[in-house]
Amino acid sequence: MKKKSKISDAVIRRLPIYHRFLNDVINKGIVRISSSELGDLTGFTASQIRQDLHNFGGFGQQGYGYNAVELRDKLSEILGLNYTYDSVVIGAGHLGSAIARYKGFRQSGFIIKALFDVDKNIVGNKVDDVPILDMADIVSYINENNISVVVITTPKAAVDDVLNKILQCKIKGIWNFAPVDIVLTDKSILIENVKLNDSLLKLSYYLKEKEEEDK
Amino acid sequence: MKKKSKISDAVIRRLPIYHRFLNDVINKGIVRISSSELGDLTGFTASQIRQDLHNFGGFGQQGYGYNAVELRDKLSEILGLNYTYDSVVIGAGHLGSAIARYKGFRQSGFIIKALFDVDKNIVGNKVDDVPILDMADIVSYINENNISVVVITTPKAAVDDVLNKILQCKIKGIWNFAPVDIVLTDKSILIENVKLNDSLLKLSYYLKEKEEEDK
DNA sequence: TAGATTGTTAATCGATTAACAATC
DNA sequence: TAGATTGTTAATCGATTAACAATC
C-alpha cells in the first residue's frame, strides 16, 4: 500500500473546476495559460492555483505559464478520468432517469449499466438504452457484473433497505442523492453525499439575509 | 440597510446539517440535546457547534444543553424557512420534473409555480399539478407572477439564452444545475451552483486514490 | 449544593496569500 | 539579455479546537 498523500479536501474540490475551465479555453483554441489568467477565469488567486498544482508537482514553466492541454491532461489523470467504473442507479424515478441519460457522467468514467426499482410497473422498461431491473435482483446483478459504483436516488425511507442490500456486495463507491447523510463503518467504501436540500437551505439563508438587509 | 453580519460560508454550510439532525431527534421524541450529542450525530466537534451557534447568540443553557425543538426553530428562522419564494423551473426534462415533484423543496419555502421548456411537444403538459409553459413567455410570466427564484435545469448550451431572458426580470435568486458556473456582475442576485459534475469528479479522485493504494 | 454543560476567550492548526529566487 | 512567470518558502489570515469561568 502506497503511503497516503493526504491532500486537503479544499484542494480536491478545486481540481474539477480547473479542469472544466481548461476544457473551455482549449475549445477556444488557447494554447498557453498563466496562473493569473486561470485565476481570473475561476475566481481563485494565481497564488492558490500554483500552490494547488504544486501539491502534485509543478506542471508549468517559468516565464511561460502552463500549456493548457498538458495541464488539462495532468488534471484528468489526477482526477482519475483514465479509470472507468461500471455503475448502477437505484431508483428509476425522474432523478434516476435524469442521471442515466446525462452524458457527462459517462465522460467522467462512470458507465451506467442498469437502473433498479421496486415498482414492478416500470421494471422491464428502458431509459434510453439502460434497462430498469427489479430491485429484488440487485445483489446478484452487482456481483455478476462487477459493478463498483452505486448511485442512490431513492426517497429517504428506502435508504436503509438499499444499504442492507448493497453492503452484501463488493462495491467501491456510493454517490448518494437521498436526503440523508450516508456514513458507513466500512471506511473502504467511498461516499459522496450530494445534499441538494442543504444546498437549497444555503440559498435560503442568503436570500433571507438579503430580505432583511433591504428592509 | 442593516450592517452585514458576515458569517463565514463554512458556518452557513453546517447549519442545514444541524437542522436536519435536530429534526431527526425531535421525531424520535428527544427533548434535550447537548453540543457533544449533536456532535456525535453530525460528526462535528462539540466545540465547533457551540462556536457556530455563538455567532447567532447562544441558544442553550449551562448545565442543561439545548432544547431540541427550540434550537431547531431558531435554526429554521436563521435559515429563512419562515420566508417563501415563488419559483419556476426552467427545463422540464427529467431533472426539472424531479425537482418539481420533490416535496422537500416546498418544505424549504420554495414554491414551484411552473416549469418552462422550449419543446412545444411538452408545453401544455403538467408535472403533478405544475404546468409546463412555453419558454417564449417566461419574461412576462415572471413579472406578472412575482417569481423570485429560478431553478435552471437546462443543458449547458441553453444557459446563455436563459440568462438573457431572466435577467430582464426582477428575480432574487438562481439555483443552477447546469454544468457551468453562473457568475453575474449584478451581485444582488444570489446564485447557488450545484455542480453535480464536480461532485462526481471528486468521487472519481478518491476512487482513483484507492485503486492506486490497493496496488 | 454538586455536576453538567454552556458561552466565550485563548491557543492551535491549517489554508490562503505574499514574496521572491530560480529559470525559461 | 530582459521580461515573464513559475515553484516554493515565509507570512498572514481565518477557522477549528481547547480550556475554563460562568451559571443553570
What's the confidence (pLDDT) of residue B48? 98
**What is the rounded CA–CA span in Å between residue B28 and residue B31?**
9
- Grid coordinates representing A212 are 432583511
The residue with cell 433498479 is: A116
**What is the rounded CA–CA span in Å between residue A206 and residue B8?**
12
- Any bridge partners for residue B190, and if so which? B173
Q: Yes or no: say if B175 and B195 are a contact pair by the CB < 8 Å rule.
A: no
What's the confidence (pLDDT) of residue B1? 33
B168 reaches A (C-beta below 8 A): no
Instruction: Tell me whether strands B32-33 and B130-134 are parallel, antiparallel or unpaired.
Output: unpaired
Burial of A185 (0-12, 13-18, 19+ CB in 10 A): exposed
**Closest residue to D21 measured CA to C1′:** B62
pTM, rounded to two decimals: 0.94
> How many interface pairs between A and B have CB atoms less than 8 angstroms apart?
173
The 3-state DSSP composition of chain B as helix, strand, coil percent (nearest 5) reads: 45, 20, 35
**What is the rounded CA–CA span in Å between residue B52 and residue B15?**
8
- Grid coordinates representing B106 are 416546498
In three-state form (DSSP H/G/I as H, E/B as E, the rest C), the secondary structure along A138-193 is HHHHHHHHCCCEEEECCCHHHHHHHHHHHCCCCCCEEEECCCCCCCCCCCCCEEEE
**For residue range B7-59, what is the model confidence (pLDDT) as tens digits?**
999 999 999 999 999 999 999 999 999 999 999 999 999 999 999 999 999 89
**What is the rounded CA–CA span in Å between residue B198 and residue A49?**
17
Which nucleotide has its C1' atom closest to residue B44's CA? D16
> CA of B32 to nearest chain A CA: how many angstroms apart?
22
> In 10 A of CB A168, how many CB atoms?
12
Q: Which of A154, A146, A175 is nearest to A85 (CA)?
A: A146
- Give the range among A82-91, A96-105, B132-141 with minimum mean pLDDT: A96-105
- What is the sign of the dihedral through the CA atoms of B115, A153, B14 and B107? positive
Beta-carbon contacts of A168 under 8 Å, excluding residues fewer than 6 positions away, are A139
> In 10 A of CB A115, how many CB atoms?
27
* Cβ of residue A195 lies below 7 Å from strand C: no
**What is the rounded CA–CA span in Å between residue B16 and residue A195?**
10
* Cβ of residue B67 lies below 7 Å from strand C: no
Name every chain A residue with its beta carbon within 8 A of the beta carbon of B198: 13, 16-17, 20
What's the confidence (pLDDT) of residue A6? 84
**For residue range A12-57, what is the model confidence (pLDDT) as tens digits?**
999 999 999 999 999 999 999 999 999 999 999 999 999 999 999 9
**What is the rounded CA–CA span in Å between residue B54 and residue A81?**
43
Please judge whether B205 and A83 are an interchain contact, meaning their C-beta atoms are less than 8 angstroms apart: no
* Cβ of residue B6 lies below 7 Å from strand D: no
**What is the rounded CA–CA span in Å between residue B208 and residue B211?**
5
**For residue range A98-111, what is the model confidence (pLDDT) as tens digits?**
999 998 899 999 99
Please judge whether B2 and A208 are an interchain contact, meaning their C-beta atoms are less than 8 angstroms apart: no
What's the confidence (pLDDT) of residue B214? 77
Mapping DSSP to helix (H, G, I), strand (E, B) and coil, where does residue A63 land? coil
Q: pLDDT-derived band of residue A5, with 50, 70 and 90 as boundaries?
A: low
Q: Yes or no: say if B208 and B184 are a contact pair by the CB < 8 Å rule.
A: no
Distance (Å) from CA A177 to C1' C12? Answer: 36
Q: Which of residues 95-154 of A touch strand C (CB under 7 A)?
A: none
Average pLDDT, rounded, for chain A: 94
CA A91 to chain centre: 18
> CA of B111 to nearest chain A CA: how many angstroms apart?
12
